[in-house]
Amino acid sequence: RKSTVVITGASSGVGLYAAKALAKRGWDVVMACRDLEKAEKAAQSVGIPKDSYTIMHIDLGSLDSVRQFVNNFRASGKSLDALVCNAAIYMPLIKEPLRSPEGYELTVTTNHLGHFLLCNLMLEDLKNSNASDRRLVILGTVTHNPDELGGKIPPRPDLGNLDGFAAGFKEPISMIDGKKFEPVKAYKDSKVCNVLTMRELHRRYHESTGIIFSSLYPGCVAETPLFRNHYPLFQKLFPLFQKYITGGYVSQELAGERVAAVVADPEYKQSGVYWSWGNRQKKDGKSFVQRVSPQARDDERAERMWELSNKLVGLA
């Protein structure tokens, strides 16, 4: 049988091109998307063959929707061999936090809590797969890491003591650290949680299940619609800045190939790691295992994040 991969947010950008690359490698791709019509058009626009994908509804910004997706996936009778947590929102210009149906701040819900719940529920499905190689991949980003050039631009991510999570993460709280709302920091914080989740999944479940858990930073994919909520001038200049100044620019096609490689290729069968490509300072484009940020490699924080997230998504 074909191997099956679920990719969240496959209706655009990195997720769409990862879907294309995995379909090309012979995978059965489940595109888990919030807008079914858009996803269908997107799949056709990049030429993914009709018989290699299925579109299923998920809204990562709603925990009920995540649970419903898992039920629908199970009802489809497919086996799950790989899961890619890719969907994300970035809302740099909003002044007030948006909220999920549960009342949680929406950027962290979509990027982290929704995926945290999805990973925990679908761990069961990965365990049930009879494939010898099963992988769970979560997208990271350079901006999670203030130790790197791309992560130095303020505001820097900081989960603090996760007091905002501990206090229930509902109005008037909007940030994980419980401090003032800052939409760019909310995005970066959520990506730190993504890396912590991957590392904690590895620590808890790799040995007992054999599942490979990993993250990657595919490079700066400056032309995806991720920046659609930014100033138009920024959207014009950012790709040029990345191409000619930082050298971090990668095409959507290449980013999709990198995700597909981490999902499917034998070289990437390593758990608990964060992949990066020597495409920023160096030009050779080779992949390597990169050290994550101090907060993202902090085991105590990982455990606290895990316990509090468990409560917020209703698993504990």
Active-site residue numbers?
187
Measured in Å, how far apart are the chain's first and last C-alpha atoms? 36
- State which of residues 141, 214, 279, 309 lies at the interface with ligand NDP (CB under 6 A): 141
Chain position whose Cβ is nearest to ligand NDP: 13
Instruction: Give the strand pairing for 135-139 and 82-85.
Output: parallel
Contacts (CB under 6 A) with ligand NDP, residues 76-95: 86-89
- Going by the DSSP 8-state scheme, the letter that residue 290 receives in this structure is -
Considering only 7, 9, 83, 157, the residue that binds ligand NDP (CB under 6 A) is 9
Identified binder of ligand NDP from the candidate list 14, 43, 80, 312, rule CB under 6 A: 14
Choice between 66 and 264, CB closer to ligand NDP: 66
Contacting residue, 3, 52, 107, 110, with ligand NDP by CB under 6 A: 110
Assess 100 for contact with ligand NDP (CB under 6 A). Answer: no
Q: What is the spatial distance between Cα 260 and Cα 164, in angstroms, rounded to a whole number?
A: 35
* 112 scored as a contact of ligand NDP (CB under 6 A): no
Report, in Å, the least distance between residue 264 CB and ligand NDP.
18
Residue whose CB is less far from ligand NDP, 127 or 230: 230
Q: Which two tokens stand for residue 64?
A: 């009920």
Two structure tokens written together for 238: 């950012």
Closest CA to 276 of 158, 156, 140, 155: 140
Of the two residues 59 and 81, which places its CB atom closer to ligand NDP in the complex? 59
Residue 143: how many other CB atoms lie within 10 Å: 22
Dmax over CA atoms of the chain, in Å, equals 51
Nearest to 302 by CA among 213, 203, 207, 205: 203
Whether 198 and 138 have beta carbons less than 8 Å apart is answered as yes
CA distances to 49, 252, 311 from 279, rounded to whole Å, are 31, 14, 39
- Give dist(CA 207, CA 209) in Å, integer: 6
Q: Which H helix or E strand runs over 63?
A: helix 63-75
For position 287 contacting ligand NDP by CB under 6 A, the verdict is no
Q: Could you tell me which of 189, 100, 82, 184 has the C-alpha nearest to residue 138?
A: 82
Pick the binder of ligand NDP from 58, 80, 162, 201 (CB under 6 A). Answer: 58
Instruction: Give the nearest distance from C-beta 38 to ligand NDP in angstroms.
Output: 5
157 near ligand NDP, rule: CB under 6 A: no
Residue 294: name the closest of 155, 207, 199, 192 by CA.
192
> Is the Cβ of residue 111 or residue 174 nearer to ligand NDP in the bound state?
111
Nearer to ligand NDP, 222 or 308 (CB): 222
Size of the site for ligand NDP (CB under 6 A): 30
Q: Which of 217, 268, 274, 306 binds ligand NDP (CB under 6 A)?
A: 217
Strand partners, 28: 4
Judged by CB under 6 A, does residue 139 bind ligand NDP? yes
150 touching ligand NDP, by CB under 6 A:
no
Binding region for ligand NDP (CB under 6 A) = 8-9, 11-15, 33-35, 38, 58-61, 86-89, 110, 139, 141, 191, 217, 220-222, 224-226
